[in-house]
Amino acid sequence: MSRPQLIDQIKQKRTFLCVGLDTDIDKIPEFLKSYPDPVFEFNRRIIDATHDLCIAYKPNAAFYESRGVNGLQSLIATYKYLPKNCLSIIDAKRGDIGNTSDNYAKAFFREDISEMGFDAITVTPYMGNDSVTPYLKYDGKWVILLALTSSVGSKDFQYLETEGEFLYEKVIQKANTWAGADRLMFVVGATKSTEFTNIRKYAPDNFLLVPGVGAQGGSLQDVCKYGMTPDCGLIVNSSRSIIYAGHDENFADAARAEALKLQQQMQAELEKAEII
């Protein structure tokens, strides 16, 4: 999905919500366990219940890889089921030397080889240019680089000062010399909303993938106040607060109700900023 298509989806659907598919087999309703692929069945019902309220889905690779071959089958089935008008993000947080990154890129971008052709992948920046460029070779695919994460541990490295700047500021500036805002996004945690004004100095046009609203307590309103651009520039993810909102046969309805609350708040923010 290109940048203009993404912006168009945000305006049409009046939302910039990403539903995180962090599907833990131990947390899904018991009645789904009789299905051949319970995790896929759970995801399928969540997607059916939310696709008009969001513009992206983000399966987190850890929840699938931890189940070995079965998990990979669930991930592939989920990828294939994702609506084409939603940005598909694999939250894999990969990063390694060039030839290894080439293979991570194949794993998640080359549908002809791996059966998965996600639109975007999250990547860690700390091994530098040659670890990131293999993902940028794929025209039309997005790299979403970790900049300032929602984690408490972000202070350990991302706030280290070097040449008068925080490391996360350097990451954003350097990475923006590798690709444009039509291919590169950054992860910035909603729990860091006070930093958004600063981040926009270095990333005025990039879309930001913002996790941390919902279970981690980040404020959607603050994220919008300090991080929104004339193109919206935000994809706000929520995983647990949506997908585990209900625990019985009605879990998909409960997920929809939570997604709807966020969509309505996002619509209000888009209207306030006169984007729609």
Ligand X SMILES: O=c1ccn([C@@H]2O[C@H](COP(=O)(O)O)[C@@H](O)[C@H]2O)c(=O)[nH]1
Name the site residues for ligand X (rule: CB under 6 A).
20, 22, 60, 91, 149-151, 187, 189, 211-212, 214-216, 237-240
Residue nearest to ligand X (CB): 149
Kindly state the smallest distance separating residue 48's Cβ from ligand X, in Å.
Answer: 20
Kindly state the smallest distance separating residue 242's Cβ from ligand X, in Å.
Answer: 8
Backbone dihedral angles phi then psi of residue 60, each to the nearest 5 degrees:
-95, 120
Amino acid at 11: K
Kindly state the smallest distance separating residue 191's Cβ from ligand X, in Å.
Answer: 8
Q: Are strands 208-210 and 184-188 parallel, antiparallel or unpaired?
A: parallel
Nearer to ligand X, 20 or 233 (CB): 20
Tokens of 146: 């970790």
Q: How many helices (H) and strands (E) does the chain have?
A: 13, 10
Nearer to ligand X, 62 or 113 (CB): 62
Q: Are 97 and 127 in contact (CB under 8 A)?
A: yes
Nearer to ligand X, 101 or 122 (CB): 122
Longest dimension (CA), the chain: 58
CA distances from 223 to 17, 152, 155 (A): 13, 18, 19
Nearer to ligand X, 212 or 233 (CB): 212
DSSP state of 172: H
Kindly state the smallest distance separating residue 62's Cβ from ligand X, in Å.
Answer: 7
Which residues pair with residue 218 across a beta bridge?
213
Identify the active-site residue in 33, 58, 93, 155.
Answer: 93
Q: Are 46 and 86 in contact (CB under 8 A)?
A: no
Q: Are 19 and 44 in contact (CB under 8 A)?
A: no
Nearer to ligand X, 35 or 126 (CB): 126
User: Alpha helix (H) ranges present in the chain?
Assistant: 3-13, 38-50, 61-65, 68-81, 98-109, 111-114, 129-136, 154-157, 167-175, 196-202, 220-227, 240-243, 251-272
Kindly state the smallest distance separating residue 215's Cβ from ligand X, in Å.
Answer: 4
93: annotated active-site residue: yes
CB-side neighbour CA atoms (13 Å) of 68: 1
- List residues with catalytic annotation: 93
